[in-house]
């Protein structure tokens, strides 16, 4: 039996575009109030104008250590309680390792690993003190297969896959469920960094997911009975040959 999200409050990082935006829209459609945290002020303003009181917004650059540390304090200026936290913000670095700069590697690992761990740490701390909740982390198919065209990105998602599995076992006693979604290639701005031939091949064969399809899985995970945790969903286009 599916549970209703009516009256719940959800936070989505990187929620102004891509999977994050699709997740936020799906959560709103289920009756949740959604707080979108993103660095894109203009996109946040457009979303606020479009959705009105259904959403709250926080402009934040999660790569800024001080802003990242203050995120939950800023969130709680807008909402009294967080029931759902979707740690979605991330970066992509693909291609040959020797072509990746030190700066690009640092930025991606900071956002994809360190920031996720810090944000989830603060979320479960809040949820423990407020009767439980749900944490969803956007991972990737790359967390489950050593994709040779993206060694840095894949490594960050392998790290997060381990983090999700171990954190889940620490916090389920507080009625906090922790799970991840691991989609294959999704039509988002992140694919702009894919090797051109890989992207062209995926488009030609229909081997791409839509962000809204990923959001449907997020809703499925969140609406299971409390005695069930969907730890990780690996989803990919049927035509994706991996």
Three-state SS at 145 = coil
Distance CA 165, CA 226 (A): 18
Is 92 an annotated catalytic residue?
no
**Closest Cα to residue 186, out of 38, 20, 37, 1?**
20
Q: Is 85 in contact with 164 (CB distance < 8 Å)?
A: no
Q: Is 30 in contact with 219 (CB distance < 8 Å)?
A: yes
Distance CA 152, CA 33 (A): 35
Distance CA 50, CA 191 (A): 27
Q: Is 5 in contact with 30 (CB distance < 8 Å)?
A: yes
β-strand pairing of 84-87 with 133-138: parallel
Give the neighbor-by-neighbor strand order of the sheet with 176-183: 55-59, 33-38, 9-13, 84-87, 133-138, 176-183, 232-235
Select which of 72, 85, 153, 194 is catalytic. Answer: 153
Residue bearing tokens 């289920």: 30
Distance CA 88, CA 54 (A): 20
Catalytic machinery residues: 153
């Amino acid at each position: 039996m599916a549970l209703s999200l009516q009256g719940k409050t959800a936070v989505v990082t990187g929620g102004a575009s891509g999977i994050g935006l699709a997740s936020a829209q799906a959560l709103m459609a289920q009756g949740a109030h959604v707080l979108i945290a993103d660095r894109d002020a203009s996109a946040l303003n457009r979303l606020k104008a479009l959705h009105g009181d259904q959403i709250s917004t926080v402009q934040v650059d999660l790569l800024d250590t001080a802003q990242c540390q203050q995120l939950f304090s800023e969130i709680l200026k807008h909402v009294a309680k967080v029931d759902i936290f979707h740690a979605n913000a991330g970066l992509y670095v693909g291609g040959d390792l020797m072509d990746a700069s030190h700066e690009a590697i640092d930025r991606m690992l900071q956002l994809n690993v360190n920031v996720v761990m810090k944000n989830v740490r603060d979320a479960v701390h809040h949820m423990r003190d407020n009767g439980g909740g749900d944490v969803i982390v956007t991972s990737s198919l790359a967390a489950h297969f050593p994709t040779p065209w993206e060694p840095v990105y894949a490594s960050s998602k392998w790290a997060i896959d381990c983090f999700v599995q171990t954190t889940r076992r620490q916090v389920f006693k507080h009625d906090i469920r922790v799970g991840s979604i691991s989609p294959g290639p999704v039509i988002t701005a992140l694919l702009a960094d894919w090797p051109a031939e890989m992207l062209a091949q995926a488009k030609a064969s229909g081997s791409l997911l839509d962000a809204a399809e990923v959001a449907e899985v997020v809703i499925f995970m969140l609406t299971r009975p409390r005695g069930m945790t969907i730890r990780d969903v690996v989803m990919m286009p049927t035509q994706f040959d991996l």
